[in-house]
Structure 1
């Protein structure tokens, strides 16, 4: 199903504000790994926002996700303060790991192996 215009607008605003909040709360570097917000998806009723986090060079990505979830109340409070004049209700925020980079690295490795096998 396609996202509506309002969903995209709300997702964009949430993405911008969360990026600033993560920087201010020092959540962009957790356990020596770099954390960035890959994308934000908002449900059609605008009551839930799914935040996809990209974690780079962290030992355990699940621990990083858990630490961010532990501070989710603080993050949502700051987000509500920023968006209180733009949204009637602040969406429920759920965090997920974005594993697109992992798939890209796996595909690159497979292509390298194929290239090496083709060479005589």
Structure 2
């Protein structure tokens, strides 16, 4: 169960890290990948943060994460500068790929294909609106 302070710090990091990626991301991983902060989870002692990122417009998502880890000092410095008045210590951040939207698109494509091939029954509670 997350405490109120954990949720506050996570939201603060999420909002500000998004801005940092807009400003610094071009210098780290280029202009092609579109990186979005989906969620941040902070440990109960506020020392560790997990940043879940959605990465679009590139085939090699892990390469973007590796580039961010290489320039971790630059990202952390920019984030610390933005949060210096709100937090005493910035949690140690680690980056993860959030596959939620990719999985959602795969399921949508499967349903679209099934409807196109008339393998899904018409009507009922699972009917697709068109």
The TM-score range, normalised by the shorter chain, is 0.7 to 0.9
Question: How far off is 1:9 after superposition?
Answer: 0.6
2:77 alignment partner, SS class = helix
Matched residues in 1 for 2:14 and 2:30: separation? 19
* Cα distance in 1 for residues equivalent to 2:18 and 2:95: 14
| Richer in strand (by share) | 1
Length-normalised TM-score, structure 2: 0.81
**What secondary structure is seen at the aligned counterpart in 1 of 2:95?**
strand
Q: Tell me if structure 2 keeps the 8 A contact 1:65–1:95.
A: yes
Cα deviation code 1:58-111 (max 9, x no counterpart): 121011111111111111112122222222221000000000111101111221
Give the aligned partner of residue 22 of structure 1. Answer: 21
CA RMSD of aligned residues (A): 1.9
Is contact 1:14-1:40 (8 Å) kept?
Answer: yes
Which protein shows a greater Rg?
2
Instruction: Answer yes or no: is 1:4 the counterpart of 2:3.
Output: yes
| Structure 2 portions without partners, runs of 5+ | 122-130
Structure 1 position 31, deviation (Å)? 6.0
Length-normalised TM-score, structure 1:
0.87
